[in-house]
Amino acid sequence: MAAYKDLVGQKITVVTSNPPEPKTGQMWYNSTDGKLRGLGIVEAFTSQTNMPTATGYHTSFGQAIPTTVSAGGIGSPGPAPTSAVFEFNGSGWTAGGALPSSGKESPRGFGTQTAGVIAGGSPGANPDGSTTTSHYNGSSWTSGGALPTAVQGSHTFGTQTAGFLTGGRGNGPPFPKESASYTYNGTAWTNSTAMPQGRQFGASSSTSPQTSALVFSGQIPPGRTNSSIEWNGSAWTSTPNVTFTADNLSGSGIATAALAASGSAPSVTGSSSKYDGSSWTAGATLSTARSATSGQGATGVTSIIFGGLTPSYTTAVEEYNFSTNTVTAAAWAAGGTVPYTSRQNMSFGTQTAAIACGGYVSGNLNTSISYDGTSYSSTPNLNAAARIGGVAGTQSAGLEYGGIQPPGTYVANMQSWNGSSWSNSPYNLNNGTYGMMSCGTSTSALSAGGENPSGGDAWNITEEYDGEGWTSGNTMPAARYYGGGDGTQTSAFIAGGSGPVSPTTLEYDGTNWTAGGGLISPTGAGSAASGENSDSGLIFGGSPPGSGTAITQGYDGTAWSTRPSLGTGRGFTTGNGTTTAALMVSGGPPSGTSTATEEFTGQTSSANITDFSTEA
């Protein structure tokens, strides 16, 4: 038997504490705990950011998790197919270019995010498939070569210029299970070797090349099957069976590392099975059992499964992890309870060191409290009650400026926080307003937009604070108030807001405002935000229209994508922190009040340190 040192190139060391960054294959003896330890394999599905719309019977392409595209299908509540397209960037979903037709049910896709193809599928609320082929360039669709046979529920893999389609359900009645195969060169389809049996609504190793792939499960006469066959570029051969039987399942990966998951068996299942090139073994179980879903992944153990029926349409997304790391999905969780109920309050600082002040119940509040990431404690009150003003700074040095003070006056005055008390500042805003976007530090703050007290409309004004007074900056290209935004005085963003409810984003570089990417879902009436700069931000909450939203969206400087939703939707709320550690305090919706705090934590990954036995 080979020694451990011969296998991994090092001895088992004796340590008093676990190494901070252990490596795969490394083992050590922790003398403090008396345990032999190393990295254990974690195999599990973990939650990812939900799709924007509940969808089933859709298709996907992209060949890797951060570049996955979902296209078509049936969106809730159905029954008509949808033309919606969504793109996944590894953290959330953005809207892609809509399909050129009214929609497709059960089409099949292949290729990359910027050179993708979908083919076949039912074009309407009828059982027939189609012969259409469409190409995607990352933003829009164009027509490709027509399929020789109208199908839906087929099996596909390859690239836009070297694709493959086989099987599916033909038109009828009696709706035959097709066995025909075709190759695609980016322009036209050509006959290829047929499968041994007709098969429909199965799955494939969807990221495989044109010459090496698996097709598995689905329906062949007389019913559902768990059989698997391999394509080598010229012929089909039988391979071992998948460990569960289902149709309308998800497939991903390549011929030597594939994943089968979910499906109807006949009720929805959360089963999975992974293939290593020679055999299928049972994999982890999905948290949400489903069928009529889709998936993508470079290999079977780096895949995501999204949408489907549970039996109702779902937005749920799960990522498959098979590694030595434990992955914890991004999520909002309940934080400490605010000592008093309010909305339209203000906060600044970080998730674990924040100040919240002012707000409204039946009148304006002058309260001020400090948050340590767990609980709130009282601090000296504001000198003047205020709500919906601007704030900037940290828990030890901050500002509150503008807002509405009794009996409803739009004010320009500023109050300073030094870590222990509030004082009136001699440096007031040039324009009294409320509902503005604010950010920055106690010596370098920004105020943008707000409501015009004379006209009751949104303003496009910008003001900058340098520690010794406010000066006017360049005006925004669009007036805005109640929008969410954050950043620094020289790198900020504002998105959404009223005047009217807007989907647009504006970015500020310290001198000029420019247009940014559009929100997935427009928000207004007091949405909150967190973020580091104009290339990194979150926006959450808001009231579009009439009730608070739970939607969270993330910004990368170019485009917005979805993030895990708040536990409870609300508007007229406040937020602070970063894109991976955000804080939301109190809020509506939209006329109610709350004592709730929610904390957002981005996805994390940590080494899975496991105890091992020293016995043979």
What are the domain boundaries of the chain? 4-39, 44-329, 332-601
Rounded Cα–Cα distance for residues 199 and 179 (Å): 6
Q: Which of 167, 215, 223 is nearest to 194 (CA)?
A: 167
> What's residue 5's pLDDT?
57
**Residue type at 151 in one-letter notation:** V
Residues 6+ away with beta carbon under 8 Å from 223: none
Structure tokens at 234: 């010229």
Distances (CA, A) of 118 to 59, 62, 64, 72, 247: 8, 11, 17, 9, 20
DSSP state of 570: B
Burial of 79 (0-12, 13-18, 19+ CB in 10 A): exposed
b/e per residue, 188-219, with b = 16+ CB within 10 A?
ebeebeebeebbbbbbbbbbbbbeebbbbbbb
Residues 6+ away with beta carbon under 8 Å from 408: none
Backbone angles phi, psi at 7, to 5 degrees: -80, -45
Rounded Cα–Cα distance for residues 224 and 236 (Å): 20
For the chain, give the number of residues: 616
> What's residue 486's pLDDT?
97
Rounded Cα–Cα distance for residues 260 and 506 (Å): 43
Pairing status of strand 27-30 against strand 13-15:
parallel
Strand ranges of the sheet holding 536-540, from the earlier edge strand across to the other edge: 528-533, 536-540, 552-555, 560-563
The parts of the chain modelled with pLDDT lower than 50 are 616
Specify the CATH class of 44-329 in words.
mainly beta
- Asked if 227 and 220 touch (Cβ cutoff 8 Å), the reply is yes
**Would you say the C-alpha torsion 384, 386, 389, 392 has a positive or negative sign?**
positive
pTM, 2 dp: 0.85
Q: Which of 292, 281, 211 is nearest to 248 (CA)?
A: 292
Q: Which of 106, 133, 115 is nearest to 62 (CA)?
A: 115
Fold annotation for 332-601: Neuraminidase (2.120.10)
> What's residue 97's pLDDT?
96
Taking the alpha carbons at both ends of the chain, their separation in whole angstroms is 12
> What's residue 8's pLDDT?
55
Residue 6 is inside which H or E element, if any?
helix 4-8
Q: Which of 374, 377, 385 is nearest to 355 (CA)?
A: 377
- Asked if 231 and 213 touch (Cβ cutoff 8 Å), the reply is yes
Rounded Cα–Cα distance for residues 576 and 531 (Å): 8
Side-chain-side CA neighbours of 431 within 13 Å: the count stands at 22
DSSP state of 194: P
What confidence tens digit (pLDDT) does each residue in 21-44 have? Answer: 777 667 888 888 888 877 777 789
332-601 and 44-329 share a CATH fold:
yes
Alpha-helix runs per DSSP H in 414-461: none
Give the residue carrying structure tokens 């007709």: 198
